[in-house]
Amino acid sequence: MLAGPVLDAAPRLLGATFTHGGVTVRLTEVEAYAGAEDPGSHAHRGMTQRTAVMFGPPGRLYVYFTYGMHFCCNVVCGPEGEASALLLRAGEVVDGVELARSRRPGSSDRDLARGPGRLCKAMGIERSDNGLDLAEHLQLAPRAGDVSAGPRVGLRLAAERPWRFWVTGDPTVSRYVAAKPRPTRSG
């Protein structure tokens, strides 16, 4: 049961607070990536320089760059060598709101960290934070509300696995958008 530990950790992370760059966020949405066996995970093709952090010990931050302009961050949750992690998809800014606003001008408070790329931007997370030890950044807390589960977002492989978890009814949870097929540039 490789997926076991990650899927178990997901509900516990919801409601927890994550502090970085002077901003504190209450996590409302996460997404599980369960090791090398998971076709949707970056770790699927084995350890590379980029995914090395995922294969390392739990409790560290895995940051990656995507679509040429956005960072996304994960919390490594599985034991060392398993490469399981939870993508932090959304949260509510509960402290450092002004700093978050300055990083995301034009955004409403509700949208400050509503989405993985937005969350990283609001918190000032970037490539240099890859591998960061989260021991003093993550604070588990009692969760207000129930947890829902559903399909993952944005993936073209194994997206149907119900490994996205969110706080039921929370307004800062991102809207589900199915992966869009990309047109080939060859035409």
Q: What is the contact surface with DNA in residues (CB under 7 A)? A: 31, 33, 40-43, 45-46, 48-51, 54, 62, 64-70, 72, 74, 85, 87, 104, 106-107, 111, 115-119, 152-157, 174, 177, 179-180, 182, 184-186
Q: Which is nearer to DNA, 69 or 144 (CB)?
A: 69
* Residue 117: CB minimum distance to DNA, A: 3
Task: Label each residue of the chain as H, E or C.
Answer: CCHHHHHHHHHHHCCCEEEECCEEEEEEEEEEEECCCCCCCHHHHCCCCCCHHHHCCCCEEEEEEECCCEEEEEEECCCCCCCEEEEEEEEEEEECHHHHHHHCCCCCHHHCCECHHHHHHHHCCCHHHCCCECCCCEECCCCCCCEEEECCCCCCCCCCCCCEEEECCCCCCCCCCCCCCCCCCCC
CB of 142 to DNA, least distance (A): 26
CB atoms under 10 Å from CB of 142, counted, come to 6
- Distance CA(101)–CA(151), nearest Å, equals 30
Residue 19 or 111 having the CB closest to DNA: 111
CB of 43 to DNA, least distance (A): 6
Q: Which is nearer to DNA, 2 or 142 (CB)?
A: 2
Shortest distance (Å) from residue 106 CB to DNA:
6
- Residue 85 or 167: the one with the smaller Cβ distance to DNA is 85
Q: Residue 141 CB, nearest distance to DNA (Å)?
A: 23
Q: Which is nearer to DNA, 67 or 136 (CB)?
A: 67
